[in-house]
Amino acid sequence: MKIGIDPGHGGRDPGAIGLYGLQEKPVTLAIANIIADLLKAKGINIYQTRTQDTTEDLLTRSTCINHMKCDLAISIHCNASENRSADYIATYIQATGGEAEKLAAKVQEQLVKATGWLDGGVKVANLHMTRETKMPAILVECGFISNPKQEALLGTVEMQKKIAVAIVQGLLDYIGKEVNIMTVDEALVILKEKGIISAVEYWKMAAQCVKYLDNLLISFANYAKRED
Ligand SMILES: [Zn+2]
């Protein structure tokens, strides 16, 4: 499992700018970096489109995420509106009915719980990062930087952490329910990693000889994976 994390804007592109001067780019990067640390601590591989204040165009970002064969992609942004009272939090997907919608629903639920902000729901939009990536992809608009109250909060490490933890929680909820090991080979690798078996070849042979042993090994591996 590899998660693509895409902190919006950066370098020459500050993103949206709040009334009091907070730029979008350091906020998205701070949130993305916390997400990366949390996922790495969970033993989940990540790929980040930027880890510093660098300029990356959208095509480079989507191409790299595709090239790195990420299983899921999450873009982090902050919303902006001429209406300074706009203050909801929302998660964007390219289309309904797929895995991205399921992932978005889990993440959105956690975000609303963590921030207490108005639930903007899961929204469909035609965005480069959700359109050009080949895996289920979501784009989170972490509140409105154009709203002075939310701008003040988005500038704090406390809120950045809250948002990052919520996104990771939603992602783990999604992975826990949706991603199961399908083959005996995959199952044996997991069981070996967990120290449950020692000789992969032996069990592979046994699974070929003993009826239903393959299903049993797959169930064990899925169970062991959930124990993390
Ligand atoms: Zn943005």
Q: What is the pTM of this model?
A: 0.79
pLDDT of residue 227: 66
Please list the residue range(s) of the chain that carry CATH number 3.40.630.40: 2-178
Residues, CB within 5 angstroms of ligand 1 (ion): 8, 15, 77
pLDDT of residue 103: 97
Compute the distance from residue 18 Cα to the ligand 1 centre, in Å. 12
pLDDT of residue 181: 56
Q: Give the pLDDT confidence of 85-132 residue by residue, as tens digits.
A: 999 999 999 999 999 999 999 999 999 999 999 999 999 999 999 999
221 vs 109 pLDDT, higher one:
109
Residue type present at position 212: Y
Compute the distance from residue 192 Cα to the ligand 1 centre, in Å. 43
Compute the distance from residue 157 Cα to the ligand 1 centre, in Å. 19
Query: Any idea which residues carry the catalytic annotation?
Result: 141
Residue 178 contacts residue 100 (beta carbons within 8 Å) = no
Strands 88-93 and 45-48: unpaired
Compute the distance from residue 16 Cα to the ligand 1 centre, in Å. 6
Give the confidence band of 224 by pLDDT, cuts at 50, 70, 90: confident
Q: Is the pLDDT of residue 178 over 80?
A: no
40 vs 136 pLDDT, higher one:
136
Phi, psi of 88 (to 5 degrees): -95, 170
Q: Give the pLDDT confidence of 42-87 residue by residue, as tens digits.
A: 878 999 999 999 999 999 999 999 999 999 999 999 999 999 999 9
Helix axes 184-193, 200-209, angle to 10 degrees: 140
**Can you name the CATH fold of 2-178?**
Aminopeptidase (3.40.630)
pLDDT of residue 60: 98
Q: Is the pLDDT of residue 198 over 60?
A: yes
